[in-house]
Amino acid sequence: MIHMTDSLPPLDGLTVLEISSFVAAPLGGMTLAQLGAEVIRIDPVGGGPDLHRWPLAPSGASLYWAGLNKGKRSVALNLRDAEGQRLVGDLLAASGAGGGIVLTNAPGRGLLGPASLTERRPDLIHLQVQGHHDGRAAVDYTVNAATGFPLITGPEDVAGPVNHVLPAWDIACGLYAAVGLLAAERRRARTGAGSVITLALADVALAVAGHLGFLAEAQLGGTDRPRIGNHLYGGLGRDFPTADGKRVMVVALTRRHFADLAAATGLTAALAELERLLRADFTEDGDRYRHRQVIAALLEPWFAERKLAEVERDLAEASVLWSPYRSFAEVTGDDGNPLLQQIGQPGIGALLAPGSPLVMDGVAGPRPAPEFGADTENVLTGMLGLNAADVRALAERGIAGGPAA
What's this model's pTM, rounded to 2 decimal places?
A: 0.94
Residue 99 and residue 157 share a domain: yes
Over residues 108-159, the pLDDT tens digits come to 888 999 999 999 999 999 999 999 999 999 999 999 999 999 999 999 999 9
Domain ranges, residue 309: 236-330
In a domain, 136, yes or no: yes
**Residue 128, φ and ψ in degrees, nearest 5:** -115, 120
* Domains: count for the chain: 2
C-alpha–C-alpha distance, residues 32 and 181, integer Å: 9
Give domain status of residue 50, yes or no.
yes
**350 in a domain, yes or no?**
yes
- Is residue 107 domain-shared with residue 199, that is, in the same domain? yes
Instruction: Give yes or no: residues 109 and 178 share one domain.
Output: yes
Long-range contacts of 260-263 (CB under 8 A, 24+ apart): 260/318, 260/319, 260/320, 261/299, 261/318, 261/320, 263/318
Verify that 365 and 243 share a domain, yes or no.
no
What CATH number has the domain bearing residue 255? 3.30.1540.10
Of 296, 330, 364, the last residue of a domain is 330
Per-residue pLDDT of the chain (405 residues; tens, 9 = 90+): 444 445 899 999 999 999 999 999 999 999 999 999 999 999 999 999 999 999 999 999 999 999 999 999 999 999 999 999 999 999 999 999 999 999 999 998 889 999 999 999 999 999 999 999 999 999 999 999 999 999 999 999 999 999 999 999 999 999 999 999 999 999 999 999 999 999 999 999 999 999 999 999 999 999 999 999 999 999 999 999 999 999 999 999 999 999 999 999 999 999 999 999 999 999 999 999 999 999 999 999 999 999 999 999 999 999 999 999 999 999 988 767 899 999 999 999 999 999 999 999 999 899 999 999 999 999 999 999 999 999 999 999 999 998 854
Give the residue numbers marked as catalytic: 170
Residue 64's domain is classified under what CATH number? 3.40.50.10540
* In a shared domain, residues 186 and 70: yes
**Contact 36/10 with Cβ under 8 angstroms?**
yes
Percent of the chain with pLDDT over 90: 94
Same domain? For 251 and 154 the reply is no
Polymer length in residues for the chain: 405
